[in-house]
A and B are shown apart, each in its own frame.
Chain A
Amino acid sequence: MIEKAKKAPYRVYVAFTALLLIALYIVKGLYLWAARGSYSKGGSLVYGEYTVSDFDWSSMVEKDGGLISTDDDPQFIMDYKGRVSTVSFYMESEFYPGEMVIYYTEKAGDPFSSQKRVWIRPVQGRENIYVADLGLRYVEKLRIDPTMYGGNVMTFGSFVFNRNKSLWEYFSVSYGDVFNLIVYTGFVSGLLKLLAEILSGITDIKEKKTAK
């Protein structure tokens, strides 16, 4: 079988790699679904809705029913102590908010660092809803940076932690997934084919030697 694989044309490698990557994607989805299920049962991951007043916030003052940033680093901080899958919230922003991130710490007493942060992104197709994925991490303390500009008037809705996800959502396919599938399939299959050629080259030499 190995001999056969070595001689297979490139398109077979492409098909094989594509299937492999799709399989990995499905396994990853299943794993996340199962892991979340077990954390929920164990009670370390809970659904929660919060408002602005549940956070300690800085560099913002109230204005027109919303908050206006007073410098370029406004923050919402919360001692969370629990596992987090996603954080999503509603935010109307007067102008483009720039980079939005969530910093987290995993041990009490640790400072926030750029090594431990995730990006907040707008949810596609839904206006003013943002989401960050913390990948089921245990979070001791977290800090939401909603904008990188001063003078931005923002109106917040509720902050939802660990929104429920149906099994189906673990396997939803975005344009980014398709992009990755194409790019990595092309590249990895090329590498595999090259590797196979190198290996068969080695066996060729061995065969020649034994033939002698």
Chain B
Amino acid sequence: MAGALTSFIMVLLLAFGLYYLTGIKSGFTPLIAITIMADIVLVFSFFGLLGKGVTFGCYIVPIIVFLHAFFKDKDRKAFDKKATEFFSPAVVLFIISGVFMLIFLAVKQPIMAEWDEFSFWGMSAKLIYNNGALYTYYPSSMLSKSIPPALPVLTYIFGHLNGGFIEWVCYFAYDILLFACFAAVATAFDRDKSHLGTMVFIAMFLLPWFFRLTEHVSFIDTSYISVYSDIPMGVLMGRAAAVCLIEEDSTLKRTAQSIPVLIFLTLCKDMGLALGCIAAFMAFSGRVACLENLPKIKIKELLAACLGAISQLMVIGLAYFGWSAHLARAMSVDRSDFGGSSGMGMAEMIITGFKQLFSHNPEEKFATVKQLMISAFFNTRVSMLGSGLKVMVFITGIFALAFLLGGKKDKLRRAFVYIRGVISFVGYYVFHLFLYVYVFRNDAYNLVSYDRYMYTFYCGFMMAAVRVLARAAAGQSPAGGRRPRQRALAGVCCVFVLLFARYAARGNLFTAYDSSNARIRLQVEKKARAIENVVSPEDVIYLHTGEDEGFRWFIYTFVMSDNVIVPQHFIWLPWVAEEDIPMRAEENLREFFTRYNVTHFLVDFGAGEFWGQYMTELFDTPMEDVGKNKVAYYKVNYTDDGGLYFTLIEKVPVVYN
């Protein structure tokens, strides 16, 4: 807890320094501070200098910036005044929520329990802790090493002082990131309007549930105790766009503020590149101020806006290619290959996709998935309000309120933000259509994880909408003009709170956390502990989980992260006579095992039909009886005649509870 708290304080010191030295609105500074720290660490880590990056980015930079601010003015009174001003409603709410979350997490100590936490988001964080370097540098069981590391590195910033990998600290890091984004939305209000700031902040705080608790359910929703990237990326996108919307700051200042956030967002996941571009695109519209002065166009402002946008895009591009270059150097992997079943590059995928989209008779699969995607927009429930259409209508309503009630001056800009947002949405949607068709080959027909991919965008767009309305409600305008806007804003916030009250029961929230939803993980952990003594870190393990569909495999890779557990292998022997199966299966297995240099064989969760029937000869002690409540660890021996056999090292019964 002390480690996480120290990093939290460093964030605040840097935020304060930035506020003092640059005059950025104080509510924006926490996220800028977090992302600056993370970006520095990321750049260092790309060169294998993670530890030095942390020392420099998380301690030296914040302390120097803070001290510089502290000693800048001789006049103590001016300093005190600014220091008080720093604690605007947004910053106070950020600190309060951060402290509450820290206490809750430290008391409850939730642990990871979900599939993708084991397959990447938690696993990558754990690997960084174990090795003190990015996961690209050493062999591990993790399959998706090409996903960029911004979020796992963020967890390392908050957890590296703890002397070990603590899972709840990862949650804390994510939560701080989210709260910092929400603070940016509440920034519009200064102290005499702190009640409005509080309402907006709370509405934003409820936003993840708005998209995740779409029906009455009895299980715990993992918002705020999750290391998935979907919500953080959406919130970051909304925030990156929102900062640039309709502020009095100069173009230069706005652009500079968005740059660390955009770097971080781009390095969150492959989709971060697209979301970063969307944020820059939406923000650009905020700057077309000169259009309001038509027909007298202000060339200077237009140029500044264009330069700002170009620099944002360049930074996004640099971050993306920086990671690609790192991958190429550290792992010799070409990132432009999207993988998936089609084996297409990204550019090729988009070109083929567009050809199909406008073709009169597209491929059957493309047409079917397109139809599914269109119908999903109208029918699939993705939020407490209902379908994506309803979400877009709600967002439109928020913009309409801001447009109709807002001052005359910014009218056109608000309209532009909305229009660009809608254009971005269409682009995002079409891009996902291509992804489903060309990357998720087998899962395309059930639109796997559709809601998750979509709420990333909705979340960001919704935040931008609320931010625009909040900005209008706080804006300077002739007397009385603010009142209706404030009421409109309060009304919108009420919608969030009322829907939350309707759909979220006490048992759904993170406050109801108990370890029972990590039950399978705890069972696996128990088994891994039982054989701990006979496993050495050099062992390269093949894991056989007979009747399990893969979840346990990922949990084992997470729990036994010091070892390399090779990917699962399915023995596929078409057209082989029944009596030849054992021999051919052995050959097949030997081929696979030598390719990965497998030294040990781990069995859990039953033998499975095929192994029970054909593979028993290979074991000196039978494995069929391993069942669900025993775990067995074998040594793999390779024979000279091209076969292999397994000798038992340990077999332990593990009792379930």
Interface of A with B (CB < 8 Å)? 10, 13, 94-96, 98-101, 119-122, 124-125, 127, 174-176, 178-180, 182-183, 186-187, 189-191, 193-194, 198, 201
Contacts and interface: CB of A to CB of B under 8 A. Distances in A.
Given A99-B217, A176-B511, A182 B519 contact: no
Nearest to A119: B218
Contact of A101 (B199, B218, B487): B218
Interface in B504-529: 505-507, 509, 511-512, 514, 516-517, 519-520
A119 B205 CA distance: 25
Overall SS of chain B's interface: helix
A119 B490 contact: no
25 contacts: A10-B195, A96-B519, A96-B520, A98-B219, A100-B218, A101-B218, A119-B507, A120-B218, A121-B512, A122-B516, A124-B514, A175-B511, A175-B512, A176-B509, A178-B511, A182-B100, A186-B201, A187-B493, A190-B195, A190-B202, A191-B199, A191-B494, A194-B199, A194-B486, A198-B483
B104 interface: yes
A201 B219 CA distance: 46
B506 A180 contact: yes
Contacts of B217: 99
A187 B203 CA distance: 8
A125 B514 CA distance: 8
B599 interface: no
Contacts of A201: 483
Overall SS of chain A's interface: helix
A125 to B, nearest CB: 7
Contacts of B100: 182
Interface size class of B (residues with CB under 8 A): 35 or more
A27 to B, nearest CB: 19
Given A95-B519, A119-B218, A182-B100, A194 B490 contact: yes
B198 interface: yes
Contacts of A186: 198-199, 201-202
Nearest to A205: B480
B196 interface: yes
Interface of B: 100, 104, 108, 194-196, 198-199, 201-202, 205-206, 217-219, 483, 486-487, 490, 493-494, 497, 505-507, 509, 511-512, 514, 516-517, 519-520, 656-657
A95 B517 CA distance: 10
Contacts of B509: 176, 179
A55 B506 CA distance: 29
Contacts of B656: 94
Contacts of B512: 121, 124, 174-176
Given A179-B509, A194-B486, A189 B514 contact: no
**List of 9 A-B pairs having minimum Cβ-Cβ separation, nearest first:** A175-B511, A176-B506, A119-B218, A193-B195, A190-B199, A190-B195, A176-B511, A179-B511, A99-B218
B202 A194 contact: no
Given A96-B516, A183-B202, A198-B487, 14 more contacts: A101-B218, A119-B505, A124-B512, A174-B506, A174-B512, A179-B509, A179-B511, A180-B506, A186-B199, A187-B493, A190-B493, A194-B199, A198-B483, A201-B483
Nearest to A191: B490
A138 B420 CA distance: 56
Nearest to A128: B657
Nearest to B500: A183
B4 to A, nearest CB: 19
A101 B219 CA distance: 11
A10 B507 contact: no
B92 to A, nearest CB: 11
A189 B198 contact: yes
Given A179-B511, A190-B490, A194-B490, A96 B195 contact: no
